[in-house]
Structure 1
């Protein structure tokens, strides 16, 4: 039976994930190339420091972090620490000013719990939340919710929407269950978060992990198949082994320092799909520089500046799916340290790729 601890009257409270942005891809892209872009589009570059803050969204009428108890905030901090302690190259740093953050966390009751997925958070105004917690986080269900929403931030979707799960729903029963208290979801929200199956092009692997922290728990009567889940499915309350493998694959522990690169020095990008390479740039003079990738490849290129030992995002370009290489024009300052990070979505044509700045 579903474990609904922490939910009112034993009825599950569910995450309401906002719709993800989807790139408009050329119709002539090969299936493998399109899939590599779709799978990787939401992921952060490894080594990124994600700054998060707690705040009351302007005009929201209160209910933000400042009006919540420290114990609730500490549950969120603990959830960030647990993901970090899996052993990953991402880092999470709390800041006070929303202008300094990529992640803005509210506690508006009545608005449910949710988070934008991966890099979609960058497209949200600094005056708006990118994550919300709408119920108590100190129960087992609430603690799992904090880890679930951070899973979205890292780039994970809902596991029960995995097209390989083989779930057959009693759809009207699902609409009725989530349309009533305490969720009160309209049919569109229920379809988007439960019934809609993800495309096989945007899902890694070919199996379903019912123990994933990204899996919902469901009471009896909603799942028709597989047979073993007709009596319901438990809410996973901890990170599964597969959750940890996934995050370590995309964000492995950072190893050697970035490779130093001089102007006009070409660096071959010998990467497999999803692979990343980092270059350190220390300008000898202050001026505008051009940074560019070359070759038949789809690449995300991002430039960071090292500020007090921490990489801070400056600018980036994503050339995936357009058959044009990415180029950045940016003013760099003498003696400052910068890191250019390049992640390969896919290679096509000759498969050769390189990076240079001048």
Structure 2
């Protein structure tokens, strides 16, 4: 029950909602209308609306503020020609919900089913959600007990299917495939700090001077007059940083990585790398950073597992007739009806 208990505690974060609507926006909808058909299963508007509103609540509560805008402004911003952020989000949410139904349909293939304890926990979570919210707010998000329970059932099956669907991939990864190099580097920045402590761009003359300092630093490092890059950087008033990388890395700077990756020997130093932000100089310290390489191996295995999971879902989608009813789905409108999370003291778990 541990994994599912975490699911319910996450759900508790959205237990109490604050719903707002623009003037003239009707909250009434036919919750039994069908948004999509996945094989023989029908996704009702009630379940789809509840699922979508829970996601909307998380975004409006935690992301809109970080982006410095209201939820309404966030949803209506255009992300590509003729497509708003809301349009893109609703497309991905409907596909995600369809996938949850597909996972439920294939659960028996992996001997996955809801236990009696699961059902009791779901009942408790659904009841608490219903008690936490006003009738008006429940109507706005289709937060009726049957919709909440259906969503939690789907979410539980989804969480249980993750591991078995990823089993059986090749977990052997060679050092060659995962190899990560390491470097020490210095950035001679093209920004400076003014008298008030604010950052500002250097003048062209100041940039030229920085570039000259970087060249002198690189020349000294290559000549071996002071092989300790830290001491040499300190003399130049700069800070040494470290990074691990491979040929596909783009951090801390793609051009710097390309220059460092082209070096033939450990201890070699790059030429200066002039960028918009400043001038880099790097020294390769290892062609096989053990810790970073082992971490990359784990990452590659996880990528393989995710690819297998995604390919299974893709195949199931291809093998299943899926029909979407856009005229029904368009009744869910994020811009005209905001939803945010109120903090809740309740624990939506099966613990008494």
Q: Smaller-chain TM-score range?
A: under 0.3
Kindly indicate whether structure 1 or structure 2 has the higher relative contact order, using CA contacts under 8 Å at least 6 residues apart.
Answer: 2
Larger gyration radius, structure 1 or structure 2: 2
Identify, as 1 or 2, the structure richer in helix.
2
TM-score (norm 1): 0.19
TM-score (norm 2): 0.19
Identify, as 1 or 2, the structure richer in strand.
1
